[in-house]
Copies of this chain bind each other. A is one copy, B any other.
Amino acid sequence: MSIREDVIKMKSAAPFLASSTIDERNNALKKIAGSLKDNAERIFAANKEDVDRAQAEGISPAVMKRLKFTEGKLNDCLSGIEQLISLEDPIGRTTLARELDEGLILNRVTCPIGVIGVIFEARPDALIQISTLCLKSGNCAILKGGKETANTNRVLFDIIHDAVIKSSLPPDSMLLAQSHAEIDELLDCHGYVDLLIPRGSNAFVRYIMDNTKIPVMGHADGICHIYVDKDADTDKAIKIIIDAKTQYTAVCNAVETLLINRSIARDFLPKLKDALTEHGVKLRGTGEVNNIINVEVIDDTGFIEYLDLIVSVRLVEDVNEAVAHINRYGSHHTDSIITENMKTAETFMQMTDSAGVYCNCSTRFADGYRYGFGAEVGVSTGKIHARGPVGLEGLVTYKYKLYGNGHIVDDYATGKKQFHFKDI
């Protein structure tokens, strides 16, 4: 059976999941948590097979760390589900209620998006987070995880899917895609899949975006900037830069480019270089930077995403030039200004065209958990629909419900009746 047929069945199930009550969905989440706890040993055994194979194949320690599903990670997932249960129902909220005329009532009500395909990296906890976020928001989910976690994912999915069925929610509410070939098949399911959320490498996300007519939410690049203003507290700046570059280098919200106000460069750059070198970070920069500290010289094309212990440095005249650089070369993800001048900070935060605009803090805060969203399905650098870390709110849309009693447009077109637009 092809995944397309499964997806078509899922599309028919979507209105039924959308009509489920919050109690039914929360009960399913409770059953999932209980069942994950009860089946912990089975999950760990399946994960051991994945880990052993990965070890035999000589996988990198970074990937191995993500791949390994520990007691600690299970507990984090369980408390994540607890938190999700406690959150208000994101669907069925009335966001507009208006009497258009006597007896003609317009309501705008939030509802699930429908069928969402999420393609995610080799992290078993991601499967749990994504499937429970989709369930809470009443969305059917097609889940495709990294091949390195195939065994763990299969077991996790079976446990979660069983709990869904036992909760009398539609069995076709979720589906695990298991082969890589199914991704291309999925990209072709325009009309049945309402949204794709790809997570993973830049090249992979771009491939998805370029090869489907289904709307895609996510981000390819993560070129985050820190601008150190002339009014910066430079100790604060260094502490923040070290965190943003070294706390976790391989992620989209790590800083990649530093923009330094020209007037403080002569004093600040040597201090910056010392601190970065001490943390094993290599510097690249423009000729002007190289005149002050010794760096590998780059030109305008050099301001790229490293995901590594390397950072680009450039001098700018003022906040406007910093903003212009960021809007031109950045990826509209997250950018921070370091300054004690709140007027300059506001200019930066107003003019920078990014999902996250920060003042005096690390770009690494850009994350659904750190924003208090419970969890995230991804981070969006697009400006249409959801932006930044995407939690429950980004998984809903709305519909307009109009209640009449034989109302026809002709009465208004001919002037027999008039709208009175009264919000109620």
- Tell me which residues across on chain B come within 8 A of A397, comparing CB atoms: 383-384, 387
The chain B residue sitting closest to A421, CB to CB, is B372
Given contacts A351-B18, A362-B407, A408-B239, contact A402 B356 (CB under 8 A): yes
Report the minimum CB–CB distance from A322 to chain B (whole Å): 12
Flag A57-99 by CB within 8 Å of B: 1 or 0 each: 0000000000000000000000000000000000000000010
Tell which of B15, B98, B248, B408 touches A247, judged by Cβ atoms closer than 8 Å.
B408
B215:A404 contact, CB within 8 angstroms? no
A230 within 8 A of B: no
A371:B400 contact, CB within 8 angstroms? yes
Given contacts A371-B100, A371-B106, contact A324 B12 (CB under 8 A): yes
Copies in the complex: 2
The chain B residue sitting closest to A113, CB to CB, is B383
- Tell me which residues across on chain B come within 8 A of A202, comparing CB atoms: none
A38 within 8 A of B: no
The chain B residue sitting closest to A374, CB to CB, is B421
- Tell me which residues across on chain B come within 8 A of A349, comparing CB atoms: 399, 401
Report the minimum CB–CB distance from A278 to chain B (whole Å): 15
Report the minimum CB–CB distance from A373 to chain B (whole Å): 10
- Tell me which residues across on chain B come within 8 A of A100, comparing CB atoms: 365, 370-372
Flag A370-408 by CB within 8 Å of B: 1 or 0 each: 111000000000111101100000000111111111111
Known: A243-B410, A360-B407, A365-B404. 19 other contacts (CB 8 A): A15-B353, A19-B351, A100-B371, A106-B372, A194-B384, A210-B213, A236-B405, A239-B406, A240-B407, A349-B399, A355-B400, A359-B402, A360-B405, A361-B406, A362-B409, A370-B412, A371-B400, A385-B385, A387-B399
A383:B194 contact, CB within 8 angstroms? yes
Tell which of B15, B327, B353, B407 touches A327, judged by Cβ atoms closer than 8 Å.
B15
A14 within 8 A of B: yes
Q: How far is the CA of A360 from the CA of B103 in the complex (A)?
A: 11
B370:A409 contact, CB within 8 angstroms? yes
Tell which of B12, B19, B401, B406 touches A357, judged by Cβ atoms closer than 8 Å.
B401
12 A–B contact pairs at CB < 8 A? A98-B371, A106-B371, A236-B406, A239-B408, A240-B408, A345-B403, A358-B401, A360-B405, A364-B409, A372-B419, A384-B397, A385-B385
A118 within 8 A of B: no
B406:A114 contact, CB within 8 angstroms? no
A323 within 8 A of B: yes
Given contacts A359-B403, A361-B402, A398-B387, contact A353 B408 (CB under 8 A): no
Given contacts A106-B371, A371-B100, A385-B384, contact A240 B399 (CB under 8 A): no
A350:B104 contact, CB within 8 angstroms? no
Report the minimum CB–CB distance from A120 to chain B (whole Å): 19
A409:B12 contact, CB within 8 angstroms? no
Report the minimum CB–CB distance from A60 to chain B (whole Å): 21
A252 within 8 A of B: no
- Tell me which residues across on chain B come within 8 A of A307, comparing CB atoms: none
Tell which of B15, B353, B405 touches A114, judged by Cβ atoms closer than 8 Å.
B353
Q: How far is the CA of A113 from the CA of B382 in the complex (A)?
A: 10
